[in-house]
Amino acid sequence: MKIQTLLLLVGLLLPQLALADGPPEQKNFPQGVSTERLGDELWREVRQRDMQSSGISQVKGVDSGILINARGDQWARFRMDQLSTFGGIGIAAIFAIIVLFYVVRGRVPIEGGLSGNMVHRFTDYERVVHWTLAIVFLFLAITGLILLLGRPLLLPLFGKEVFSILASASKEGHNLFGPLFLVSLIMMLISFARRNLYERGDMTWLLKGGGLIGDGHASGGFFNMGEKTWYWMVILIGLVIAISGLILVSPNFGQGRLIMGLSHVVHTIGAIILIAVSIGHMYLGSIGSEGALEGMKTGYVDINWADAHHDRWGKVCHEENLIIPAEEYARLQGQKPGSTDEMATAEQGK
């Protein structure tokens, strides 16, 4: 009985298997009318946000085949709402922090004061390279900030006509000096790269906060870890700024608006970061630390300063007897011994 049922079932199933022809196929109705929604396709092309495909125009120009570029408005709003606002606030905040730091901590003195015994630190060429980069950078920073923040901050003060003159001058100056920044950067890279390579002892410096944490002494080489980090920030972010700037300043190569907007954002963010940290650099290199400016001004630093801030290098100077005694240094400068002013003035006569 069971076998018969089974056979019956199989007998009924087998023909079904033979007749089965897979998943149901699309049935074409040869006499029908189908409406393709061409409007959708056209609308999609017109409304595309990222300009994947472009049309053709008899008018040849940059992006002339593109109907709508939605990124442009996005970029415009980002620049005015976020970039300008937070960039300006960021720079002002860093400036305020530095002022606060000076008011609270004051100038960092050297234990035991300056001795007058000097050691050579930077050659003439190295100082010229640094100050060239500094002057070009400051000029670019000021003109750039006028272009970024001028409309909310300066236009209400000067009025449209006068501000337009200021902005036009800034734009021309900024565009012309930009490539000079790249050249100065490359010279800086060649002159100082070797001494700025990270080495053993830099992590310790960082963990001690450069002397802010703990007993106030952090060991450093010719350049300490903070200086090295600033150096590499300048070189790397500076290169990004320079290259994006070169893209922005040569529209004659037909870059589209997307590349220009992107380059502008990268350029501005990089510039704001460098400007903010450079305020700290300028502070520390001048009034923030006793004996710091002399190195970049005259090329010579006090050995006590070297021992306090760059003791590993100071040790080498002691060992290799590179120290110039105070009397000798004063004599070479043409002054009476004991004075720390490095240049003779009216005494020498002309």
Partner 1 sequence: MIEYLIDGPLWYFSLAVFVIGVVWQLVSIVFASRKQDLSVARDSATSGAIRTIFTRFVPHKEISSQITIQVVAGYLFHLGLFALLFFAAPHVVFLEHNLLGFGWTPMPHWAFIVSAQAAFLGLIFLWLRRMVNPVSRLISTLDDHVAAILTFVVMLTGCFALLEGSTGLRLLHRFSVELWLIYFPFSALMHTFTFIPSRAFTGAWFGRRGIDA
Partner 2 sequence: MARMKFYCDAERCIECNACVTACKNEHEIPWGVNRRRVVTIKDGEQGERSLSVACMHCSDAPCATVCPVDCFYTTGDGIVLHDKDICIGCGYCFYACPFGAPQFPEEAAFASRGKMDKCTFCAGGPEEDHSSDEYKKYGRNRLSEGKLPLCAEMCSTKALLSGDADVISDIYRKRVINRGSSAFNWGGNAKITG
Residue 232 in contact with partner 1, rule: CB under 8 A = no
- Using alpha carbons only, give the angle 275, 279, 187 rounded to the nearest 5 degrees: 65
Angstrom distance (rounded) from CA 293 to CA 284 = 9
Helix (H, G, I), strand (E, B) or coil at 108: strand
The partner in contact with residue 262, picked from partner 1, partner 2, none with C-beta cut-offs of 5 to 8 angstroms by kind, is none
Angstrom distance (rounded) from CA 79 to CA 85 = 9
The partner in contact with residue 39, picked from partner 2, partner 1, none with C-beta cut-offs of 5 to 8 angstroms by kind, is partner 2
Sheet holding 118-120, edge to edge: 300-302, 118-120, 323-324
Count residues near partner 2 (CB under 8 A).
Answer: 63
The DSSP bridge partners found for residue 120 are 300
Neighbours of 112 (CB within 10 A): 9
The partner in contact with residue 66, picked from partner 1, partner 2, none with C-beta cut-offs of 5 to 8 angstroms by kind, is partner 2
Sites for partner 1 among residues 105-124 (CB under 8 A):
124
Sites for partner 2 among residues 23-42 (CB under 8 A):
28-42
Q: Which long-range contacts (CB under 8 A, 24 or more apart) does 270-273 make?
A: 270/237, 270/238, 270/240, 270/241, 270/244, 271/140, 271/141, 271/144, 271/241, 272/87, 272/90, 272/91, 273/233, 273/237
Least Å distance, CB 328 to partner 1, is 14
To the nearest 10 degrees (0 to 180), the angle between helices 225-249 and 160-192 is 130
Residue 182 in contact with partner 2, rule: CB under 8 A = no
CA 107 to chain centre: 28
Binding partner 1 by CB under 8 A: which of 99, 153, 169, 212? 169
The partner in contact with residue 304, picked from partner 1, partner 2, none with C-beta cut-offs of 5 to 8 angstroms by kind, is none
Sites for partner 2 among residues 117-156 (CB under 8 A):
147-148, 150-151, 155
Q: Which residues contact partner 2 by CB under 8 A?
A: 28-43, 45-46, 55-59, 61-70, 72-73, 75-77, 79-80, 147-148, 150-151, 155, 160-161, 163-164, 167-168, 171, 175-176, 248-252, 257, 260-261, 264
Q: Which residues contact partner 1 by CB under 8 A?
A: 124-125, 127-128, 131-132, 135-136, 164-165, 168-169, 171-173, 176-177, 179-180, 183-184, 298-299, 333-334, 343-344, 348, 350
